Amino acid sequence: MIVALAGNPNTGKSTIFNALTGMKQHVGNWPGVTVEKKEGEMEINGTRVKVVDLPGTYSLTAYSLEEIITRNFIIEEKPDIIVDIIDASNLERNLYLLTELLELHSKIIVVLNMFDEAQKKYNIDVDLMSKILGLPVVPAVGIRGKGIDELKEKILRGKFNPKKVEYPEDVEKRIEKIEEKIKKLGLEPARWYAIKVIENDVEVVKKIKDKGARDILHLAEHLRHEIEDIYGDDIESVMTSFRYSFAHGLFHEVAEPINVGGVTITDMLDHVITHKIFGIPIFLAIMYLSFQFVFLVAAPFQDAIDLLFNGKDAAGGHIPGLVDLSYNWMLTFMPDWLSSFINHGMLRGLGAVLTFTPVIMLLFLILSFLEDSGYLARVAFLMDSVMKKMGLEGRGIIPLMLGFGCNVPAVMATRTLKDENERKLSIALNPLIPCGARIQVFAFLSSIFFPSNPALVLWSLLILSMVVVFFLGYIYSKTIFRGKSEPFVLELPPYRMPTMKGISIHMWEKSEGFLRKAGTIIVGAAAIIWIFAALPWGVEYGSPDSYIGMFAQWIAPIGTAFGLTPEAIISLIFGFFAKEVVIDVLYVLFGSKDAILASMTWAQAYSFMLFMLFYTPCVATLAAVYNETKSKKFTLFVILEGFFLAALFSFTFYTIFTLLGVGA
């Protein structure tokens, strides 16, 4: 006797296979392909039974290897019984395969596995299901061995009186016509062959062609067109839809959701979180609280690291930090300029990055949490619906928001948008969304310049960028990038409580990536800046006579209107290569947090941050933009757009606050 196990993937098929066969298993491949084939043996009351584990599939089309293997095995090897292992906690999904199996075989035992989970969701009337289907139905909990004995019992003594999946009369009539001819050809099961040849299933058509029965193919084609005319759709969708309806109907007949309306936690949360009115305020509140948390918790650690590297000016004089100590120590065996380069240049820069580590890690911790829990995907979705409400056509916002992490892949993700204008719209807006690296830099700057409430400052920048993206998106879509929106749908992952391990891994990967980059670049950036600040030979480090000082004097007038100090401009120039470098540059130029703070008024600092929020995307993003559009003009557009916004906002802000006289 041969029993074949079929079922969707992940329904506990292996678990049940093991429970049935124990150690008597044999693993090989299906002939000619590298799909695993598991066979085993068991004995029920003295009857030897061979058990074959079929590949896990959702359907039995001719589109995938697994599905073809499964159906061919059933047709050719003719197992005595098929056991359909169903994940009863996702009952409806699993019933589609059952409808296909019903057409292929008459002796099917339905195992409702994961019955423990299913009972939390709905009451399943097992007897009714068995009656409707005319098949044995066995509830089971594979991991606890529950239901295995009953399954064995049914394998030996189950009663089968299976129901057909019935199609509407006008389809049935036509199936029968073909079925008769197939029977004469000797193909079994004839009804299945008839249905498939009408559906134009490539494998079946080929088989019939090989048998030389061209008349059947002609007839099938004729009948197919008739059905298509009656239903007005292509045959595949008509027939598949009937089977889905059958599964759907069966599901509703036998399963009754436990909580009214079948509301899951995900549904409930989604109603609140993606709410049309409250969704955005909730998002903003979550971000604000997250930022507060980050700065609050990070502050003491940051101070400690800063103290370690840079020491402290106390009443009794300067308490030396690592940088001072190392500088003095190196003076004992190397010239002053070299020690200064190593310590004031590189070591101090390294310290800068390290002081920032707590913020980086905590911020990534929060982002990882929001992402792993499934929240960030919803935010993307929420933004999309807001845009839709605004009557915005181009819906490229989704790949865009998902670029929250990094703009580069987000730009590349726009490849999925087919409409040229919609794609351009998405790419043009993309760099305006602050990427993870930029958020980090803003967090850093906020904590230096606005120690009393960095979270609020960071938060305001985030809001501003969102507003600008919405506004500009609106304008663009009505004017230069008037695109046709490509219909799409997004599968959102269910909410789940992220695991500590998962989050730590994510946080670590992200922080490490960020720090490693900032750490490597700093060596180069520090060296370059130090050299320019120390040359020409003999000038005081960083004085107006040094190259950097001369450059600063030259560039200064350009920045004044925007409140940008020469140092700020220099850091922005370096930031073009990678935004993280802005932090490094400021540290190398000024040496300490306090000196950076002292270098700008708060109005200048905020202007500086506004400028940074929008000015040109980093080199990598621009490269991606060019790569995706292959247009120099468009890439230039993206740069100019950034500079325009940067100038607009920083100028407006700085002017207003200087006029009000509150900037100082």
Partner 1 sequence: MIKKVLRGICEGKTLAEIAEEMDMEYSALIAMLEHMVKMGYLVRGKKENNEICSTCPLQKVCSERNYTVYFLTEKGKKLVGSC
Ligand X SMILES: Nc1nc2c(ncn2[C@@H]2O[C@H](COP(=O)(O)OP(=O)(O)O)[C@@H](O)[C@H]2O)c(=O)[nH]1
20 close to 42: Cβ distance less than 8 angstroms: yes
Q: What is the largest CA-CA distance in the chain?
A: 107
Residue 378: how many other CB atoms lie within 10 Å: 21
Residue 25 interacts with, from partner 1, ligand X, none (CB under 5-8 Å by kind): none
Find residue 53's DSSP bridge partners: 5, 38
C-beta of residue 498 within 8 angstroms of C-beta of residue 372:
yes
What does the alpha-carbon distance between residue 318 and residue 133 come to, in Å, rounded to a whole number?
86
114 binds ligand X (CB under 6 A): yes
d(Cα 283, Cα 274) in Å, to the nearest integer? 9
**Residues between 193 and 232 that touch ligand X (CB under 6 A):** none
Q: Which does 569 bind (CB under 5 to 8 A by kind): partner 1, ligand X, none?
A: none
DSSP string for residues in 239-284: HHHHHHHHHHHHHHHHEEESSGGG--HHHHHHHHHT-TTTHHHHHH
With left for phi above 0 and alpha for psi between -120 and 50, is residue 38 left, alpha or beta?
Answer: beta
Count of residues touching partner 1 (by CB under 8 A)? 78
Which range of residues in 60-68, 143-151, 308-316, 592-600 is near partner 1 by CB under 8 A? 60-68
Q: Does 203 bind partner 1 (CB under 8 A)?
A: no
Site residues for ligand X, 54-83, by CB under 6 A, read: 56
Q: Which stretch binds partner 1 (CB under 8 A): 22-30, 434-442, 445-453, 548-556?
A: 434-442
Closer CB to partner 1, 208 or 521, in the complex? 521
210, interface contact from partner 1, ligand X, none, CB < 5-8 Å by kind: none
Residue 286 binding partner 1, by CB under 8 A? no
Look at residue 486 and give the partner it binds from ligand X, partner 1, none, a contact being a CB closer than 5 to 8 Å depending on partner kind.
partner 1
The yes or no reply on residue 498 touching ligand X (CB under 6 A) is no
DSSP E strands, 304-443: 312-314, 317-319
Single out the residue of 163, 173, 252, 318 in contact with partner 1 (rule: CB under 8 A).
Answer: 252
63 sits near partner 1 (criterion: CB under 8 A) = yes
- Judged by CB under 8 A, the chain residues 461 through 490 that form the site for partner 1 are 485-490
Using CB under 6 A, which residues numbered 134 to 153 contact ligand X? 141-143
Query: Contacts from 266-273 at CB under 8 Å and sequence distance 24+?
Result: 266/494, 266/495, 269/495, 270/378, 270/492, 273/375, 273/378, 273/382
Q: CA torsion 207→212→216→218, rounded to 10°?
A: 100
SS3 state of residue 288: helix
Pairing of strands 122-124, 255-257: antiparallel
147 versus 399: smaller Cβ distance to ligand X = 147
Phi-psi region of 134 (alpha: psi -120 to 50; beta: other; left: phi over 0): left
3-class DSSP string for 200-211: CCHHHHHHHHHC
368 binds ligand X (CB under 6 A): no
Binding residue (CB under 6 A) for ligand X from 3, 4, 6, 15:
15
Among the residue ranges 186-194, 291-299, 344-352, 623-631, the one whose residues contact partner 1 (CB under 8 A) = 623-631
Q: Which residues contact 157 (CB under 8 A, 6 or more apart)?
A: none
Smaller CB distance to partner 1: residue 623 or 648? 623
Q: Map tokens 């068995």 to a residue.
A: 130
The minimum distance between CB 193 and partner 1, in angstroms, equals 20
The answer for residues whose C-beta is within 8 angstroms of residue 343's C-beta and 6 or more apart is 323, 326, 327, 330
Using the rule CB under 6 A, which residue among 77, 92, 117, 313 binds ligand X? 117
Instruction: Give the shortest CB-269-to-ligand X separation in angstroms.
Output: 23
**By CB under 6 A, residue 168 contacts ligand X:** no
Q: Using CA atoms, how far apart are residues 244 and 239, in angstroms rounded to an integer? A: 9
Q: Which is nearer to partner 1, 41 or 486 (CB)?
A: 486
280 binds, among ligand X, partner 1, none (CB under 5 to 8 A by kind): none
CA trace torsion 165, 202, 56, 131 (10° rounding): 10
Does residue number 248 form part of the binding site for partner 1 (CB under 8 A)? Answer: yes
Gap between the Cα atoms of 663 and 319, Å rounded: 32
Q: Does 601 bind ligand X (CB under 6 A)?
A: no
Task: Look at residue 644 and give the partner it binds from partner 1, ligand X, none, a contact being a CB closer than 5 to 8 Å depending on partner kind.
Answer: none
518 touches which of ligand X, partner 1, none (CB within 5 to 8 A by kind)? partner 1
Residue 237, CB-side half-sphere exposure with 13 Å CA sphere: 6
Q: Residue 113, interface with ligand X (CB under 6 A)?
A: yes
With binding defined as CB under 6 A, does residue 119 bind ligand X? no
Q: Among ligand X, partner 1, none, what binds residue 135 when CB lies within 5 to 8 Å by partner kind?
A: none
Contact call for residues 383 and 397 (beta carbons, < 8 A): yes
Of 66 and 641, nearer to partner 1 (C-beta) is 66
Q: Which of residues 258-277 bind partner 1 (CB under 8 A)?
A: 262, 266-267, 270, 274
- Report CA Rg, the chain: 34
Q: What is the spatial distance between Cα 251 and Cα 128, in angstroms, rounded to a whole number?
A: 11
Q: Report how far residue 647's alpha carbon sits from residue 635's, in angstroms, rounded to the nearest whole number.
A: 19
Closest approach, Cβ 103 to partner 1, in A, equals 16
Q: Smallest distance, Å, CB 255 to ligand X?
A: 17
* Stretch near partner 1 under the rule CB under 8 A, chosen from 184-192, 243-251, 529-537, 558-566: 243-251
Q: Please, which residue, 312 or 388, has the CB nearer to partner 1?
A: 388
Nearer to ligand X, 27 or 143 (CB): 143
Binding mask 390-429 for partner 1 (x = CB under 8 A): -----x--xx--xx-xxxxxx-xx-xx-x-----------
Residue/partner pairs of 188-193 with CB below 8 Å, 24 or more apart: 188/75, 189/75, 189/103, 189/104, 189/105, 191/103, 191/164, 192/75, 192/103, 192/104
Q: Which does 234 bind (CB under 5 to 8 A by kind): partner 1, ligand X, none?
A: partner 1
Which helix (H) or strand (E) segment is 91 a member of? helix 91-104
Query: What's the min distance (Å) between Cβ of 285 and partner 1?
Result: 23
User: Tokens 């839809």 sit at which residue?
Assistant: 241
Nearer to ligand X, 4 or 638 (CB): 4
Q: What is the footprint of partner 1 within residues 500-519 (CB under 8 A)? A: 506, 509-510, 513-514, 516-518
240 part of the interface to partner 1, by CB under 8 A: yes
Backbone angles phi, psi at 49, to 5 degrees: -125, 130
Can residue 13 be called a binding residue for ligand X (CB under 6 A)?
yes
Asked if 175 touches ligand X (CB under 6 A), the answer is: no
Out of 14, 18, 25, 90, the residue judged to bind partner 1 by CB under 8 A: 90
Count of residues engaged in binding ligand X, rule: CB under 6 A: 15
Stretch that binds partner 1, among 127-135, 305-313, 435-443, 565-573 (CB under 8 A): 435-443
C-alpha count within 13 angstroms, C-beta hemisphere, residue 41: 6
| The 2-7 sheet, strands edge to edge | 25-29, 36-44, 47-53, 2-7, 81-87, 108-113, 137-139
Could you give the string, one character per residue 29-58, with x where binding to ligand X holds by CB under 6 A and - elsewhere? ---------------------------x--
Binding interface with ligand X (CB under 6 A): 9-15, 56, 113-114, 116-117, 141-143
